[in-house]
Amino acid sequence: MNRKLFCISVISFSLTASLAGCSSVSNKQAHGNFDYAEKNEAAALTIPDGLQKPKQKSNFYVPEVANSNAPIGKAVDVRAPALVIPVAAGSRIEGNAGDAQVWFDQVIDDKDLLDFIRDALKSQLTTDGVALTPVSSDNLVFESDWYIHEKEDGFWLMKEIVETEKMRYKYTLEAKPHGRSVAIKVDLIDYSKKDPNGTVTDMNPIDKHRVEMAMLNTLIGEVDYQYRIYKHELLQSKANKTIVTIGNNKQDEPAFIVDMELDSLWTSVPAFFSDNGFEVTDLNESKHIYYVDFVKPESGFWGSMWGDDKPVIDLTDGKYKFVFSELDDKTAVTLLDEDGVALPSEKLETMLPIMEPGLSFNNLFQED
């Protein structure tokens, strides 16, 4: 038993030492031998008079470094460059991709894009607990109050602040004349970092660019989040309406016509599948097709006794495809059998009592 405890103690000590060693390693710098940085450049070959200069190949020619004050060896910052991540709908990079700037294109027609982006900016800083102040008469330039990050050391009541880092940002909005494209640019305008000795240090250009990019990507994430909230509210507003009818798609095939934009319906419909006996086996996102297996749910004994059984779709067990396509401002949902033949209108009519509330998602938003 003592031997086991001793082994565990040794392992724990080794692991702690390894982690401590790793924590002291800088992720900014390369590691290894930097002898090359101490080497002097070889002098050019001197050819005596009367002798022919040998041929030189340029395969391994190294041009002179324009900035002779550039870092060398361990001083070189080897981190991958910070990049704009345009994950929000309609977001893109334009011009110099090195700037902390992103463009948003109109994706919601019933909202002013500039106001939407401005509101997202205000929402993010409210979440961060940092004040935002407009500094231009046109309400396009804003400055934040201080973001303050404090590093503590010690234990419990003996903790003390050993480092304080503060930064402020400027946010510049720019709208195209047509109003359907808006850019937001982030600039770090104030920074200070104070250690326990009271020494204040500035931020180097590389780290400055990285924190600007990080802030911009946070704002892009907030815009994406606000888009999702809007779509959720739109879906909820239609939840108790009759928005599913039977008609024809653009190929004149019988289909369910859903009064909802394709993207919102496409991302929400898996909830319908899982509740109604459909198992998604594959999907084609570019063509908006779900491949499903249908097995009719069995009626439960207690459910049938108390009358709590859910209604079941009138459909034969088998493999089917749900094909989603745009139809004006609505979505056509065509149900194909295993042979790729659209189910007739008569069959869709028998399914409508379940498909209508299911594709309207009124159960999804029903309050208890």
* 87-146 confidence digits (pLDDT tens): 898 999 986 667 899 999 999 888 899 999 999 999 999 999 999 999 999 999 999 999
Asked if 326 contacts 211 with a C-beta cutoff of 8 angstroms, the reply is no
Q: What is the percentage of the chain residues whose pLDDT exceeds 90?
A: 46
SS3 content of the chain, % helix, strand, coil (to 5): 30, 25, 40
Global confidence as pTM = 0.58
Alpha carbon 48 to chain centroid, angstroms: 65
Domains of the chain: 80-235 (3.30.530.50), 244-359 (3.30.310.170)
CA distance 357 to 243: 9
CA distance 110 to 329: 13
* 317-359 confidence digits (pLDDT tens): 999 999 999 998 899 999 999 999 999 999 999 999 888 888 8
